[in-house]
Structures are given as structure tokens and as C-alpha cells.
Amino acid sequence: MTSKRLVMGTRGSQLALWQTNFIQAQLTARYPDLEIDVRTIRTLGDKILDSPLSRIGDKGLFTKELERHLLDGSIDLAVHSLKDLPTAIPAGLAIGAVTKREDVRDVFIPHPESSHRAFNDLPHGTVVATGSLRRKCQLLSHRPDLSIVDIRGNVNTRFEKLTASNWSGMILARAGVARLGLEASIGEILPFDVMLPAVGQGALALEIRQNDERVAELLRFLHDDATASAVWSERALLRRLEGGCQVPIGAYGRMEGNELRLDALIGSLEGTRVVRGSMSGVPERAEALGIALANELRGRGGQEILDEINAAGRSAPVPEA
């Protein structure tokens, strides 16, 4: 590889390609002489579409194959939605940059033929689709009358499934909907007291080989310090709770003045119990803040929820890849 060439790896979904093309455009504008190749790589999460994420397992579900190509040198940079990236980065790899975050909130997408645009206007017992236990927990905590169905696939596939269904609507991340130009389909942007986002939601992570100073330097201008502090606190909380797709955990870190504030929750699978908390601190101690809030949530009932979910997970069958 010459110093003027960069190979980027990405998943093949329309949203993943949008994200990669966005980063490529930023790099090309900054370095006009840089030759950039894009390689599309299919991940396990793209191959298994008939099982809930919580039953497949989440350790690198959308990232492992990309990381394998990074380690063997066939790509120089992997573009991820940060919320897909496990908190444990494989040895030899590092996050080279975290981009400025888009809107972190989730949105309610009503069925195209539904007369109910707002989430709270939905009739009693209505059906809402989501592929996330975090969302399911918070939806049922707010509206225990709802019936929740699982939905998988990329954003466009989910829209197709919604249109073909008798569901009242589905929940998606606003960032992905906006990036694909589908904001007109949004019925309501859900407030944080109804729905805390996933860890890292709205930000992109640019993963590189550790000690690859050339690529690290190329990416430096894309890194956003405020976003990085926020997501480091969220990822530290998630790591301390040992959670992922199998555990309903929401978190939202952001700068408020000179302080970093982190809100988070742990919930039971059916939303009957939710433990919420908030802490603030200096951004330089973002990870310590996340760990401290995780410990507080554990001590206020979160540990019992985690123990119950982990015990149930050990007894549940796992589908074959």
C-alpha cells in the first residue's frame, strides 16, 4: 500500500454505505490526492435475519468480519455505527476517530396508512415493531398495553416490512432515518423521558490498526472531542454492566456547559422494572463517570435485573449461524 492510498471497509446496507461515502467525501475534500478504495464486507448480523438480535448474541455481530480484514491488512479503516461496536476492541485495533454526533433520539414511524401519527395517540393494545430489547423495555414501561413484535433487517427493509404489515408503527434511530432522507416518515421524535438511546447512538466510529500513525493522522480532523467524551462515558457504563443486545440498557452522555452529564437506565425485559440515574463530572474523567453511574444503578436494583436476565439467557437456546 502506498502512502496515498486508503482502503475502507464497510457493511453493505444502504445506511452503512451512506456513512462510508460520507467519510470518504470528507477525506477526499481534505486530501484531494488520496486514492480511496471501498470494500464491502458482509457480517454475521447481515446474514442472520430471522432471529432477534438478543438471541444471536452481540459480540461483534456487525463488526467482527470487518475487524478481521483490518487485522490481516486487507483494509486500513472500518466505518461503524458506534452503537454496533462492542466495548472490548480486539488486540491490535483501536478507534482512530469518533465523528460529531447526530441527533441521538429514537423516533416513532407510523404505518403509512395509519391515522395515528403520534406515539401517545396509539389505541390501546396496538402493535409496535422494534428489534431492540432496550426499546421494548422502555415502550412497555411507558405503555404496558402495547404489543411488541420483533423486526430485523436494514432500514429500508424495515420500512418495507412495516408497509406490508398490520402494525401501527415501528421505532428507529432518528440519525439513520435522517441520513437516508426518510424524515418525512417520522410521526414523533420520542423524548428522553420515554426513550433513552443506545450507547453510542448517532456517532460513527472509525476503527484502525493500533499504532497505524499514518491513518490516525489522516483521520484526526474528523474526531470530535465533545462526542468522544460523551460516548466514552456511555461505553464505560455499558462495559461495567456487562450489557449488550441481551440487556435493556439506555444511556445518553452530553456536555452541559463545562460538565459532562450522563443519564442511564437498566430495565427488565418486559419493562415492569426500570432503574434510572444521572451523574455529572468533568469530561477528562468520562470513563470514571460511566463506571460510577453503573455502580450506582447496580446498587439500586439494577444488579437483580441483570442477574435475572443473564440467568434466563443461559437457559435459552441460541440459533445456529
Q: Are 266 and 209 in contact (CB under 8 A)?
A: no
CA distance 187 to 165: 17
The C-alpha atoms of residue 158 and residue 131 are separated, in whole angstroms, by 10
Q: Which of 37, 46, 58, 84 is catalytic?
A: 84
Question: How do strand 147-150 and strand 127-130 relate by DSSP bridges?
Answer: parallel
Whether residue 56 contacts residue 319, with contact meaning beta carbons closer than 8 Å, is answered with: yes
* 8 A C-beta contact, residue 146 and residue 194: no
- Torsion, Cα 153 155 157 161, to 10 degrees, reads 100
Task: Mark whether 33 is an active-site residue.
Answer: no
| SS3 call for 209 | strand
Nearest to 183 by CA among 196, 171, 195, 174: 174
Order the strands of the 274-281 sheet from edge to edge: 249-256, 259-267, 274-281
Q: Judge whether 264 and 237 are in contact, CB under 8 Å.
A: yes
Cα torsion 309, 195, 111, 11: sign: negative
**Ordered strands of the 188-189 beta sheet:** 147-150, 127-130, 169-173, 106-110, 188-189
Amino acid, res. 125: G
- Any idea which residues carry the catalytic annotation? 84
